[in-house]
Amino acid sequence: MKTQINPQDTSRAEAFNLWLCSPMPMVTLTKTFNVSNLLKQSKKLNISFNALLCWCIGKAASQIEEFYLLIEKDKLYKYDKIAINVILNNKKGGINSCDIAFNEDLTQFVKDYTQLTQRTSKENKSNFLEDYMIIGTSAMIETELDSIVNQYTDKFTNPMLMWGKYRKQLFKTLLPISFQFHHSQMDGGHGAKFLELLQKEIKKA
């Protein structure tokens, strides 16, 4: 469920006032993750690496209160559930968007992820979820990337994670991930905490 709340009644009051009218209110943090365990589990369980990573993102985000908030124009909304968005190439040479509700149950999340992404790709039609706080993702696996800074538009203020191709080294596999968020939604400390939680979830997936 989506509920409009008064920013002045929340811990985001000062940040909301400071950053709402900023011409560039987005913050981008980039961290290099050790994804060795994720790659291992992906092969062992025969599960898409991207699906596992998206589940870890949802698991980490669900532990931080600020991820349930969203800035829309000059208003602040609170959600009671989150979803992960993935961008898919379609058969026409373009892209489609697919929202997958986060589920603590990995098996169910992967099942939903697989069904929804396959349907979106087959039908060339985006799948959107209402009343969910959407966390955007974009995987550009054609090349290795050190960092990504996305465009900013006030039509889309959701947090976004982006990455390229993972890098295999002798004893580990590394993946830089860029995390972009609206400063009115959370501070750098919240973003850093999320990235630390994400690494922990990746290691124990």
pLDDT digits (tens, 9 = 90+) for 48-64: 999 999 999 999 999 99
Q: Is 90 exceeded by the pLDDT of residue 196?
A: yes
Whether residue 176 is contained in a domain is answered as yes
pLDDT confidence of residue 71: 94
Q: Are 176 and 162 in contact (CB under 8 A)?
A: no
How far is Cα 99 from Cα 126, in angstroms, rounded to an integer?
Answer: 8
Mean pLDDT of 65-91: 95
Task: Give the pLDDT confidence score for residue 72 in this predicted structure.
Answer: 92
Residue type, 49: F
Quick one: average pLDDT of 148-172? 92
Domain annotation covers residue 169: yes
Predicted TM-score of the model (pTM): 0.97
- pLDDT of res. 143: 96
Residues contacting 85, CB < 8 A, separation 6+: 97, 98, 99, 100, 134, 135, 136, 137, 158
Which CATH number fits the domain that encloses residue 120?
Answer: 3.30.559.10
pLDDT score of 73 more than 90: no
CA-based nearest residue to 29, from 201, 183, 205, 184: 183
Q: How many CB atoms within 10 Å of residue 184?
A: 24
Residue 7 counted as domain residue:
no
Residue 172 lies inside a defined structural domain of this protein: yes
pLDDT for 119 equals: 93
- Domain of residue 76: give its range: 24-204
| pLDDT at 76 (0 to 100) | 97
Give the strands of the sheet with 2-5, arranged side by side: 2-5, 75-79, 69-72
| Domain assignment of residue 4, yes or no | no
Chain mean pLDDT for the chain: 95
Query: Would residue 89 count as lying in a domain?
Result: yes
Rounded-to-integer distance, Cα 30 and Cα 35, Å: 15
Total domains present in the chain: 1
Is 28 a residue whose pLDDT tops 90? yes
Assess whether pLDDT exceeds 90 at residue 110.
yes
> According to the 3-state scheme, what is the secondary structure of 4-56?
EECHHHCCCHHHHHHHCCCCCCEEEEEEEEECHHHHHHHHHHCCCHHHHHHHH
Instruction: Flag whether pLDDT at 99 surpasses 90.
Output: yes
Residue 90 pLDDT > 90: no
8 domain residue, yes or no: no
- Percent pLDDT > 70 in the chain is 100
Which tens digits make up the pLDDT trace of 166-185? Answer: 999 989 999 999 999 999 99
Token digits of residue 76: 């602040």
In a domain, 6, yes or no: no
Q: pLDDT class for 75, splitting at 50, 70, 90?
A: very high
**Res. 4 pLDDT band, cuts 50 70 90:** very high
